[in-house]
C-alpha cells in the first residue's frame, strides 16, 4: 500500500487507487462519472488538528461552508461539534436542514439583504460579522423593527498581504471585504449608539489558500491593537474571530499543520495578555479540500502539432478552479498505467478554451481509462454550474468500507423544472 503525498486516506493497492477501504474504480462503475468522492476520515482528521490546537482554550470552530456545502458534509461537521460560517440566506437554510444549532452560526459577507437579516434574526443565529458601516445602519433598522437585538462583530480589513492569488485575497485595503483598519474604532462607537445592536466581538479574515504563518501573525498583531483600542474606549469584546484561510497541499505546497500554526498564534495571544479570550475561527478548505477526489473518464485522445489533448467527461462546470484561478490539481490514473506516457492538456467537453483541468501532464492513458483529480473537496462542487446544460455530478461519502450516495446525478429535467414556457 502506497499513500499519495498529502492524501493519507488515498492510496494505491496493487497499483489501483483506493480511498479509505474502497477502490475508486468500483465507485465509478456503480455511480458513473464525473463523480465526487469524499473521505469521512480525512475530514475528521483535518478537524482533529484544529481541536488539538485549541485544547484547553475557549474556542469555537465554525466551518466555512462555502468550501463545500453538501448536506452530508454539513451534517458530519455539525455532529462533530462545529459551528458554521455562512455568507448567504441559502447557506443558512442548508445548515438548518443539516441539523446545525442556529446559535453556532455566524453570518459573514458584504451584501446581506434585509430579507436575509430578518431570517437570520428569526432563527436566532449567534452573530453577524458586519462588513461595512452602512450594513451596521441597515441591520439596526431591521433588528429594531423585529424587536430583537442583533449580536454583531465587526470584520476588520487589516491591510495584510496573505501572499495568495489575488482573487482569494481578502485582507488588503483594495479588497471589498471588511471595515478599513483606520475606521474600525469609529464603527464600533457607532455600533454601540445604534438601537437593536449588541456588540459581541471582532473579526478578521485575510484570504484563502495561505501556506505561510507570517501573514496570520501580522494580522493578529493588528487585530489585537484594535481590540485594545476598542476596549480602552469602553466597548468590551466577548470574542475574537481570526477567520480561516489555511491552505492545503495541491502541488507540493507546505502549509503549516493547523495545530502547529495555532500553537504559534496562541503563544502570541498569551504574550499580549489575551490568552483567556473566547476565540472563533472559520476554516473551510483545510477541512475538506484534500478529502475529495473527482473521478472522470477519458473520452478521446487528440494529438496535435503543438499540444496533445486528453479529453475527459469532467469539465469546468464541475471543477471551476483551474479556469477561474489557473489552479493546479494533481491528476492520477485510477488503474496502473499502460504504455508510454505522453504530455497532455487534460480538457473537458465544454465549448470554452478555458475548459481545462490540467496543463502539460505526463500520462499513459487510453480512451475509457479513469483519472482521479485530487484535492477536489473544496470549491469544486460548491461552485459547480449547469453551463452547456450539463448536470452536476453525483457525490459519494466513503466511511471505511461503506459508500453513501449523498447527491444524485442531476438530469436535464432537474435543471428545467423551475422554467416555464410563456404559451
Annotated active-site positions, please? 351
Query: What DSSP assignment string belongs to 167-207?
Result: GGB-SSTTSSSSEEGGGHHHHHHHHHHSTTEEEEEEEE--B
- Is 284 annotated in some ligand binding site? yes
**43: phi then psi, degrees, rounded to nearest 5:** -65, -45
- Is 336 annotated in some ligand binding site? no
- Is 282 annotated in some ligand binding site? yes
Given a contact cutoff of 8 angstroms between Cβ atoms, the answer to whether 154 and 163 are in contact is no
Q: Could you tell me which residues are beta bridge partners of residue 295? A: 35, 372
Ramachandran category for residue 116: left, alpha or beta (phi over 0 → left; psi -120 to 50 → alpha): alpha
Q: Could you tell me which residues are beta bridge partners of residue 255? A: none
Q: Residue 379's Cα: distance from chain center in Å? A: 6
- Is 379 annotated in some ligand binding site? yes
Counting Cα atoms < 13 Å in the Cβ hemisphere of 400 gives 0
CA distance 118 to 146: 8
Exposed / middle / buried, residue 268 (Cβ in 10 Å: 0-12, 13-18, 19+): middle
Cell of residue 374, nine digits: 485530487
Cell of residue 355, nine digits: 475548459
CB burial string 200-209: b at 16+ within 10 A, e below: bbbbbbbbbb
CA distance 227 to 223: 6
CA distances from 19 to 7, 218, 404 (A): 9, 38, 13
Alpha carbon dihedral 313, 316, 319, 320, in 10-degree steps, equals: 180
- Is 252 annotated in some ligand binding site? no
- Is 325 annotated in some ligand binding site? yes
Q: Hey, how many other C-beta atoms are within 10 angstroms of the C-beta on 111? A: 11
- Binding-site residues from annotation: 245, 282-285, 321, 325, 352, 379
- Binding-site residues from annotation for pyridoxal 5'-phosphate: 245, 282-285, 379
- Binding-site residues from annotation for substrate: 285, 321, 325, 352, 379
Amino acid at each position: 500500500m502506497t499513500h499519495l503525498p498529502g492524501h493519507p486516506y488515498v492510496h494505491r493497492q496493487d497499483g489501483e487507487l483506493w480511498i479509505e477501504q474502497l477502490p475508486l474504480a468500483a465507485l465509478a462503475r456503480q455511480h458513473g462519472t464525473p463523480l465526487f468522492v469524499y473521505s469521512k476520515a480525512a475530514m475528521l482528521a483535518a478537524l482533529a488538528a484544529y481541536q488539538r490546537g485549541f485544547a484547553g482554550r475557549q474556542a469555537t470552530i465554525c466551518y466555512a461552508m462555502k468550501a463545500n456545502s453538501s448536506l452530508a458534509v454539513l451534517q458530519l461537521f455539525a455532529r462533530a461539534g462545529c459551528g458554521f460560517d455562512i455568507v448567504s440566506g441559502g447557506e443558512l437554510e442548508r445548515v438548518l436542514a443539516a441539523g446545525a444549532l442556529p446559535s453556532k452560526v455566524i453570518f459573514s459577507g458584504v451584501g446581506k439583504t434585509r430579507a436575509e437579516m430578518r431570517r437570520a434574526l428569526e432563527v436566532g443565529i449567534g452573530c453577524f460579522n458586519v462588513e461595512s458601516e452602512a450594513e451596521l445602519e441597515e441591520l439596526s433598522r431591521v433588528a429594531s423593527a423585529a424587536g430583537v437585538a442583533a449580536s454583531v462583530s465587526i470584520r476588520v480589513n487589516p491591510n495584510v498581504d496573505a501572499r495568495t492569488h489575488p482573487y482569494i485575497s481578502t485582507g488588503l485595503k483594495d479588497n471589498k471585504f471588511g471595515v478599513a483598519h483606520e475606521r474600525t474604532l469609529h464603527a464600533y462607537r457607532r455600533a454601540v449608539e445604534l438601537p437593536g445592536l449588541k456588540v459581541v466581538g471582532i473579526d478578521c479574515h485575510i484570504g484563502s489558500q495561505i501556506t505561510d504563518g507570517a501573514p496570520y501573525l501580522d494580522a493578529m498583531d493588528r487585530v489585537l491593537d484594535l481590540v485594545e483600542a476598542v476596549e480602552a474606549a469602553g466597548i468590551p469584546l466577548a470574542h475574537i474571530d481570526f477567520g480561516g484561510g489555511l491552505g492545503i497541499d495541491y502541488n507540493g505546497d507546505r502549509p503549516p499543520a493547523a495545530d502547529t500554526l495555532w500553537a504559534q498564534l496562541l503563544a502570541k495571544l498569551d504574550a499580549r495578555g489575551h490568552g483567556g479570550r473566547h476565540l472563533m475561527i472559520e476554516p473551510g478548505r483545510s477541512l475538506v479540500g484534500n478529502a475529495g477526489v473527482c473521478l472522470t473518464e477519458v473520452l478521446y485522445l487528440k494529438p496535435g502539432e503543438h499540444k496533445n489533448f486528453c479529453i475527459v467527461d469532467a469539465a469546468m462546470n464541475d471543477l471551476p478552479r483551474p479556469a477561474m484561478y489557473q489552479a493546479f490539481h494533481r491528476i492520477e490514473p485510477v488503474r496502473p498505467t499502460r504504455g508510454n506516457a505522453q504530455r497532455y492538456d487534460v480538457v473537458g467537453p465544454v465549448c470554452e478554451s478555458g475548459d481545462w483541468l490540467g496543463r502539460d501532464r505526463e500520462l499513459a492513458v487510453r480512451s475509457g481509462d479513469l483519472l482521479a483529480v485530487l484535492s477536489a473537496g473544496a470549491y469544486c462542487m460548491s461552485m459547480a454550474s449547469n453551463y452547456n446544460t450539463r448536470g452536476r455530478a453525483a457525490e459519494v461519502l466513503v466511511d471505511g468500507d461503506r459508500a453513501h450516495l449523498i447527491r444524485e446525478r442531476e438530469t436535464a429535467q432537474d435543471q428545467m423544472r423551475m422554467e416555464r414556457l410563456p404559451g
